[in-house]
Amino acid sequence: MNTAVRVLFTDTISTLDEYAARRGGEGLAAARQVNPDLIIKELEASGLRGRGGAGFPTGRKWRTMVENRSSVEPTTVVVNAAEGEPGTFKDRSILRKNPYHVLEGALIAALAVGADHVVFALKRSFQPEVVRVRAAIAEVQAKGWAPGVGFELFEGPDEYLYGEETALLEAIDGRFPFPRIAPPFHRGVERVAVRAAGEASGSGQSARVEMAGPTDDRFAPPALVDNVETLANVARIIARGAAWFRTVGTEESPGTVVCTVTGSTRRHGVAEVIMGTPLREVIESIGGGCLRGRRIKAVLPGVSNGIIPAELLDAPVSYEGLSAIGSGLGSASFIVLDDSVDLAAVAAGVARFLGVESCGQCTPCKHGGLLLADLLKGVSRSQADERTLEFINTHASTVNEQARCYLAHQHKIVLQSILSGFPGEFQAHLNGEAVAVEPYLIAELIDIVDGVAICDERFREKQPDWSHDPQTRGKVPADRFGENRLGDRTFMPARRADR
Ligand SMILES: Cc1cc2nc3c(=O)[nH]c(=O)nc-3n(C[C@H](O)[C@H](O)[C@H](O)COP(=O)(O)O)c2cc1C
Ligand code: SF4
């Protein structure tokens, strides 16, 4: 297969000295020699796109940060290490092997956008990575790699939404991970807006009220949020140049991408592949192909993009290659589904995941999402009729109405792709031709050990109010946690450390 080692090291880099001995630090040294604008120009020329899911051009994002600098507060760089997309384990794999190049990328970002502070946003449950990154930060500071830049390691909640950029900034600011209406890059909105508007807010809600008010954007300090893998690419681009970065990959998707393959394959795993490699090859090489005696029916790229039917497996793994077949690269998570897997059950699993993880600030997303989960469960259990299917199609088309964040759009895209791509799978349940099954477990990955992915089984008990209580309280998270920031101690939104 087309492989290259750029961000996912094959062996473990244990110390900063070891990293330096392998040319670590060259990117930061080069960045210190030039004007910040040249750093951004090099990134723009490289064509690097964000690996957190949306594929936004990284250089353009950094330039926007500079253009939106606050006149009163410095910019912050945030490393998004929340990794919650079902079927994805790439960021934790990168960090376990080598956290130093991610920190180097963050320090280069701080130089480029004029930040004095880096927040490394992990999840509290990612303890192996928390320990590793904490030690790496201490080494970087002790060896004088970060003069004038403070580090903070933030241990956030487990919720899927915590990875969404504005929800992440909310959590870092001590609120719950609810997406906000605001330019996505603004951090500390409430604090600054409160000062600018001269009024206090004790609300635990996201910062929508403040942003809807008479806030002067010049005061809001921007935060540059970049994914772990994105930042892992930066140091070598600056050290070796944009042309070097473009020696592999495609024109629109230069470089490599770190893919996770799970599901009905002989083994599960993570590997770095050159952009443009056919998906079939990625599955063969990382997963060893489909389980013995089975055929691939489809591939689910997490819960962010349309399902990929088996006949399209020769599509190139790149932003343009997967979007050309009606799907998308997302965070390069490929959940392989063989011919024994019931796709109505998969649709029910996707709907449950997105319905439960929805925060409930937008009614169609939360209530419509949960309704879809229920209706689809009815189909997979063969307890539904034609009218149920009509309801499902209607709600799938409206679940994203007035959506504040992209989660609801994902819900619509993924469900409609399964409904329209595999109508027979649903019809078979209505006709009594398919065996009744429970929804397929779609949840975040806890680890991959000896080629076996460990999916978060606790998600089966997670309630739509984000508790694991035997009974749901009937409240959506936005109402349950919105009343008081510290009111409910079963949900701890934030822990700040290591400033
Ligand atoms: C529901 C949802 C969950 C997300 N989860 C993650 C995540 O776990 N990690 C991540 O890096 N980006 C995640 N994102 C994307 C971020 O919002 C954001 O685009 C990304 O951190 C930007 O970094 P990049 O430009 O380097 O990709 C998520 C987006 C949505 C809508
Ligand atoms: S679209 Fe859904 S997840 Fe996003 S803010 Fe609205 S309710 Fe929350």
Ligand 1 mean position to 33 CA, how many Å?
31
Report the distance separating Cα 339 and Cα 293, nearest Å: 10
The per-residue pLDDT for range 195-217, each reduced to its tens digit, is: 444 333 333 344 433 332 334 55
CATH code at position 285: 3.10.20.600
CATH code at position 57: 3.40.50.11540
With a 6 Å cutoff on the Cβ, whether 318 touches ligand 2 is no
Residues of the chain with pLDDT under 50: 189, 191-215, 483-499
In a domain? residue 11: no
- Domain limit, last residue, from 189, 221, 245: 245
DSSP letter string over 363-432? HIIIIIHHHHHHHHHHHHTT---HHHHHHHHHHHHHTTTT-SSTHHHHHHHHHHHHHHH-HHHHHHHHTT
Nearest atom within ligand 2 for CA of residue 357: 3
User: Which range of residues forms the domain containing residue 278?
Assistant: 256-338
Which of 46, 154, 164, when mutated, tests ligand 1's pocket best, judged by the most ligand atoms within 8 Å of its CB?
Answer: 164
Residues 227 and 97 in one domain: yes
In a domain? residue 71: yes
In a domain? residue 451: no
Residues 58 and 187 in one domain: yes
Residues 169 and 238 in one domain: yes
In a domain? residue 48: yes
Residues 115 and 191 in one domain: yes
Separation in Å, CA 93 to CA 9, 209, 252, 253, 268? 9, 38, 25, 22, 13
Residues 6 or more apart in contact with residue 390 via CB below 8 angstroms: none
Nearest atom within ligand 1 for CA of residue 168: 17
Count of domains observed in the chain: 2
Ligand 1 mean position to 53 CA, how many Å?
6
Whether the Cβ atoms of residue 192 and residue 182 lie closer than 8 Å to each other? no
Q: Which ligand is nearest to the CA of 362?
A: 2
- CA-wise closest residue to 227 among 51, 402, 59, 3: 51
In a domain? residue 200: yes
The per-residue pLDDT for range 95-115, each reduced to its tens digit, is: 999 999 999 999 999 999 999
Ligand 1 mean position to 227 CA, how many Å?
7
Report the distance separating Cα 256 and Cα 233, nearest Å: 9
In a domain? residue 395: no
Torsion angle in degrees (nearest 10) through CA of 134, 137, 141, 143: 110
DSSP code at position 302: T
Residues 262 and 221 in one domain: no
Residues 85 and 160 in one domain: yes
Residues 165 and 50 in one domain: yes
In a domain? residue 130: yes
- Domain limit, last residue, from 315, 338, 361: 338
Residues 164 and 293 in one domain: no
With a 6 Å cutoff on the Cβ, whether 164 touches ligand 1 is yes
Residues 108 and 198 in one domain: yes
Ligand 1 mean position to 50 CA, how many Å?
9
pLDDT at position 72: 81
Whether the Cβ atoms of residue 481 and residue 487 lie closer than 8 Å to each other? yes
In a domain? residue 291: yes
Residues 128 and 269 in one domain: no
Residues 193 and 281 in one domain: no
With a 6 Å cutoff on the Cβ, whether 404 touches ligand 2 is yes
pLDDT at position 73: 84
With a 6 Å cutoff on the Cβ, whether 301 touches ligand 1 is no
Residues 6 or more apart in contact with residue 414 via CB below 8 angstroms: 300, 303, 304, 305, 306, 307, 350, 354
pLDDT at position 216: 52
Which of 365, 406, 481, when mutated, tests ligand 2's pocket best, judged by the most ligand atoms within 8 Å of its CB?
Answer: 365
Residues 224 and 328 in one domain: no
